[in-house]
Structure 1
Amino acid sequence: MRLLLAVAAGLAVLAASACSAPAPPRAAANPSPIPTGPVTLPAPTGAHPVGTTALYLKDTSRPDPWNLDVDARELKVTLWYPTEQHDGQRAPYMTPKESELTLKGLRIAGVPSDTLSKTRTNAIKDAKPAGKTLPLVVLSPGFTKPMSTLTSLAEDLASRGYVVAGIDHTYESYATTFPGGRVAECLACDSDTDPGFGTGVAQGRAADVSFVLDQLPKKWDGSQLIDRSRIAMVGQSIGGAAAMAAMVKDSRVRAGIDMDGTTYARIPKSGFTRPFMFLGSAPHVSGGSDNSWDRDWKLLTGWKRWLVLTGAEHQSFTDGPLLSGILGIKPLPDVLGAARGAELTRTYVAAFLDQHLKSQRQPLLDKPSSRYPEVKFCPATCAQS
């Protein structure tokens, strides 16, 4: 199971079946330069400044699946949204303690423990939300990874006119900080080889999503912005599996994207008609031994796409490659460059959401584009190597 690949592109390259590609990816010939100081995440591409705030929710209707000593599920939810405020304190990427625990979990040594906390974001902390009713996008990160590792994507979507709710699934990442400085570490990290682990995580995250959707109108002052008839979910790795599971469980989630994650939720044999997109690094997620995308593709009876980014690896859809330089990790040859990977992810995720939540047709999703030659449409134009 490809849930524990490291945060940076230099730590692992997927040996996977791939779409046929006559030319190397553009970014492979021009790898991103290695930063010499703190990294600033790529600027959002939309028209709106971005605000962010955090909510802390407690679900007393169910015990925590990982911590047997508590009888309620606590969650941290980070919100990104359009604002009219241009100036103000930028939100922190991580706390120093979160950085320390994340680097320790990833077994990255030789850099200061607070390195990741120095990453500069673009969103203004606790800025006042602005705009009319907007679609909502739920984000779910990969296993062991905090929600912050999808910040670049979240900021970009908010700048394009979405409210984004990113969920830190407690005890499933190296560190989640709650009010008062209490830090929940990864209790699930030693269980990933247990039978049924992936299915259990996906189902648990689906329950987290439904609870968050229930609570947002009650707990967030800006919830009047949310058009609750236009909700989608996007996840990376096990978060992508959770997107599928949440859609099967909760009809409020109208559309979903799985970014390079094995799927576990079983789709009804009668088919699944809501829009769904696979966005990955290879046609078969775990190097050809995993047929979950092929299995589910046949049961997706509505609008669907299966896109592969040539040269991408498992973390190309996250902030990981953008941060690899400050961790002392050099890009590997023929791996999609960090900036290009972020651009492609943002572009195709936004196109999907614009089409299915804003009813804005996106020709980009109809066929390959000469502007983005790395993106291959599968399975029709893909061949297993």
Structure 2
Amino acid sequence: MMKRYLILEDGTVFEGTAFGGDDASVGEIVFNTSMTGYQEILSDPSYCGQIVTMTYPLIGNYGINSDDFESIEPAVKGMVVREIAEFPSNFRNKSTVDELFKTKNIPGISGIDTRKLTRLIRSKGAIKGVLTAAGEEVLIDEVVKTLQDTVLPSDQVAQVSTGRPYPSPGRGKRVILIDYGMKHGILRELNNRDCDVIVVPYNTSATEILAWGPDGVMLSNGPGDPKDVEECVEVVRELLGQVPIFGICLGHQLFARACGADTFKLKFGHRGGNHPVRDLVTGKIEITSQNHGYAVDEDTLQGTRLKVTHSALNDGTNEGLTHLDYPAFTVQYHPESSPGPEDSNYLFDRFIDVMNATRKEQQHA
């Protein structure tokens, strides 16, 4: 058991026990309030460039299995926990979190006061931090100065998107899934509905997408600031009105920007499997899975032809949009529920219905 430090750019220092990879790691410190689903969280590409603090005190108790990964290669920069389970128990368990992190060379730290860290993030907002190398003694002042001068990368989408198109065949509707950092749960839900899916890189042109003759286009989740990928905004703008669109998370933000709205950075983001959202059309409340640090600014929606469909109950931020003229809708949360409740899974069925209705209109035109 080796010592490791978590050092924040404001000079706050946490001393704990190292697990996982031995190397140091720098990233944005965020927190997630989920009680389960740590495997999906650590493999979610939307965490690219971030060190995730789990607020639930015991992580790893059911181990790691071969079924619940959301990506092949985790993009998370590290994990912070109160206690890491060394002897998990579950019939699907294949390895421990520590073993996975060692294999992927991802650093982790346990044995620190995660309540204190979470309260600090809630007070000061998301903050840069470093997990030091395992067993290494450090000069705190030097680390803090270096950290303050560090500019975190802004190319997260390029880091996690697929490098080339690939198919996931089906006999139903053809869907082009633009991969901004796609969770495999989204692909699974489309496959469950027999969609003929083609996954394409984030920088694929609208011309190439339309050349495949899609019945619909899915805008995936992904990491970072939507303002860092303006080329993606232009592609969505060109697709609008040409084909039905369904966007999730970063896809929701890119869609809003393509329609003329603006986005902004949240103080500490929404990350967890217990976020209540009101459907403004039906009045129903959905408990949702969320992971995002940016949101659509509703004050900029005037004149965009966008209608607000969902709202976060915790802080009133925007959670859903639909276009008044075209078959296109988006949500800020994760209806594929990986991890999280399945309240919003019906949105994939709605997407199928929109594609069917659009096809009928085209046939009768």
Q: Is TM (by shorter chain) over 0.5?
A: no
Q: TM-score, normalised by structure 2?
A: 0.37
Report the structure, 1 or 2, having the larger strand content: 2
Higher relative CO (CA 8 A, sep ≥ 6), structure 1 or 2?
A: 1
Q: TM-score, normalised by structure 1?
A: 0.36
